[in-house]
Amino acid sequence: MNPLRLGIDIDGTVTSPSSLLPHINKRFGQAFKLDDITDYSLTASFPMLDPKEFGIWFKEAEPEIYRTSPAHDYAQEILNKWNRLHELYYISARGLEVKDVTFGWFREQGIPYRHIELTGTHRKIEAAIKHEVDVFFEDKHDNAVDIHEEVGIPVLLFDAPYNRLPAPPGVVRVRDWREADRWIQTEFGT
């Protein structure tokens, strides 16, 4: 079998979905937990945070947040395995201003990469088409649904409290990278 081309989101997929919380809690004097994030928009989940103030803070804190983000459960193990079998295309909504931090994080975590594309937007459909990915890995519900419907490929949606809306067949919910690996093995025999 030919290697698969795997399109992989970074934040909340390769990194832990709770990566932002220690930073938010410290800056805003809160004690939020992952289960408190019920909407992808953090200011919708935490209405006590002023959206403008939060946006200004986030842009300043973004490099440090990304530099210190823990990897998602089993990400290093499975992505190293897949790197020997498949082509990994990381496609992220991060902007180019955090390119060095992003590449540095991958090196420090021991997570392999050949291609990392920072789109600066949550719309990843064009990148998925350009790189002819066979499967996409995402944590943002509407991205997962849009990529599945517009590109016509399966999308594995990494479960989090903020993405638990119903999804169409073809968007498969997984808890971690080992579960994603089992799905890939079952569907593609790799």
pLDDT 10s digits, 74-123: 999 999 999 999 999 999 999 999 999 999 999 999 999 989 999 998 88
**Distance separating alpha carbons of residues 190 and 186, to the nearest angstrom:** 8
- Asked whether residue 150 carries a pLDDT value surpassing 90, the answer given is yes
Q: Which helix (H) or strand (E) holds 116?
A: strand 115-118
CATH number of the domain at 76, please: 3.40.50.1000
pLDDT tens-place string over residues 127-146: 999 999 999 999 999 999 99
Which DSSP category does 71 fall into?
B
Same domain (yes/no): 118, 181: yes
Instruction: Examine the fold and report which residue of 68, 90, 107 is the final residue of a domain before the chain moves on.
Output: 68
Cβ neighbours around 137 below 10 Å, total: 27
Q: Per the structure, how many domains does the chain have?
A: 2
- Token output for 107: 């090196």
**Distance separating alpha carbons of residues 69 and 3, to the nearest angstrom:** 29
- Asked whether residue 168 carries a pLDDT value surpassing 80, the answer given is yes
Asked whether 154 and 172 are in contact (CB, 8 A), the reply is yes
Same domain (yes/no): 152, 85: yes
Alpha-carbon dihedral 169, 11, 116, 170, rounded to 10 degrees: 0
* Predicted TM-score (pTM) of this structure: 0.96
Report percent pLDDT > 90 for the chain: 93
Report percent pLDDT > 70 for the chain: 99
In the prediction, which pLDDT does 122 show?
84
User: Which range of residues forms the domain containing residue 41?
Assistant: 20-68
Which of these, 1, 6, 21, lies nearest to 162 by C-alpha position? Answer: 21
